[in-house]
Amino acid sequence: MKLKRKAIEVTSANIFENDKLQRKESVGNLTELLKNIDSPVVLSVNAPWGAGKTTYLRMLHANLELETKKSIYFSAWETDFAADPLLAFLGEINLNVASFIGGDKKKNKAWEQAKKAGAHILRRGVPIAVKLATVGLVDADKIVEDEASKLAEALSKDVIDNYSKSKFAIVEFKENIAKVLSVEGGGAEKLYIFIDELDRCRPTYAIELLERIKHLLDIEGLVFVLALDKTQLAHSVKAVYGAEFDAVGYLKRFIDVEFSLPSADVEPYIGFLAEQFDLGKHFESDIGSSAGNEYRDLISVIKVIALGQKMSLRTIEQLFSKIKLILLTVQKNNYVYPEFMVFLLFVKDAYPAEYSNFSKPETDGDELIDLICKVIVGGDETQYIKQDIHALVIACKSESGTGWAREQLKRLKLESDNEASSEVSRRNSKRIVELVDYYTSRRRGIPLKRMISRIDMTSNFNFTDE
């Protein structure tokens, strides 16, 4: 049972094997830019959540490694459990630096010195944090009294000294990192550091990470590539510093060059997801070609709605999860009305009031019919889908026994016979009438109640990322 696609693998053997969004050329161009750009520099790869930034960064990272460049990939989201972002970041750097510097004694010594300086930076504020963490476990009044006297003493003796030591530690840290990156004859070898998924972290963690590593951003040889949704990250900044804070200006302090991720080609990605979710398996049956047609109709309507509504890649994936969930509740050889099912799934999320009204047997279908052209966007190639959904709305209400359905059919028949109307309008009306007749004449009828129940069921599941 697949309700979620596998993570897209990026292997060194064939970096672009799973490049379903056709971004190979863009990755190649940016690789050349990063190789030739002067350091230090911080470049951001900006795109909304769910646009494929992680896969793009992994391909970029792998492409640089393939060209024997020193490159480190760091997922901020996977480490936001850490108390101090700098600790997680330096830990990740430490795992990779040893392989970069090999047996070079001078560079190994410089790295050891850098780690010691980094440890001192990390110790700043730890005693206070520990004391705060113990509140509630011991006598609170005693803590307040003792800490008040200790604080006064610390302010007079230690604070200025600790500040000086921390400032020196930062300088020492940067000097030793520079030694690690230095090359004979002067200059520095580039080290590419990719920081991914900042926009998925806790707001405080993302901001702390940026502020803690800002001392690294101006060391010759370092090239930082940050993947983020600038709009979302700006909201996180405001959540910490206040609604009136200049979040965009704040982020510009860390970023030298902004790169907007190119738009993805959605159609091949939909084909990839159909394979990943194994949707075709449901339509493997003994009822002949109609099953194949049903599957093609399903994929077709997904493409039309996804493209017309400019759905993000993540939203498309969540739509597939919901469709798969529904198919798992339907017995094989039972017709699923694919176009109507996908249409209702989208309407439920985008137009909940209209969906709720339609699901009531006593209501008419005017609101839903009005939504057809808003949801199914396109020219002649989408006309059949629109006609099919229009007919199913009428057929569903016809089985509910409402007079509205009879009036709709009467109006459509008059339109189809009206010689004063355009040929397109007459043909459209006639086709809808024929489809209504086809659906209402089927012995089993339209299982609207079951369909609504299954669609409503998807609301009880969480399809967001882990």
Tens digit of pLDDT for each residue in 264-288?
788 888 988 998 888 888 887 544 5
Which of 199-208, 254-263, 371-380, 409-418 has the least mean pLDDT?
199-208
| Contact criterion met (CB below 8 Å) for 283 and 291 | yes
Give tens-digit pLDDT for 370-386: 999 999 998 778 999 99
> Is pLDDT of 340 > 50?
yes
Section 257-261 average pLDDT: 91
Residue 86 CA: distances (Å) to CA of 65, 122, 259: 24, 7, 25
> Is pLDDT of 211 > 90?
no
Scored b (16 or more CB within 10 A) or e, 190-220 reads: bbbbbbbbbbbbebebbbbbbebbebbbebe
pLDDT band (50, 70, 90) for residue 78:
confident
Instruction: Quickly tell me which residue has 């309407």 as its tokens.
Output: 347
Residues 6+ apart with CB under 8 A from 82: 88
With CA atoms as reference, report the closest residue to 56 among 36, 26, 96, 35.
Answer: 26
Instruction: Specify the pairing of strand 41-46 against strand 257-260.
Output: parallel
The residue among 218 and 455 whose pLDDT is bigger is 455
Rounded to the nearest 5 degrees, what angle is found at the Cα of 65, between the Cα atoms of 42 and 226?
25
Tokens standing for residue 42: 């911080």
Give tens-digit pLDDT for 309-331: 999 888 999 999 999 999 988 88
DSSP annotation string for 266-291: HHHHHHHHHHHTTGGGGG-SSSTHHH
In this prediction the pTM is: 0.73
**pLDDT value of residue 456:** 92
With CA atoms as reference, report the closest residue to 115 among 168, 179, 173.
Answer: 173
With CA atoms as reference, report the closest residue to 349 among 266, 232, 456.
Answer: 456
**pLDDT value of residue 125:** 40
Is 335 strand, coil or helix? coil
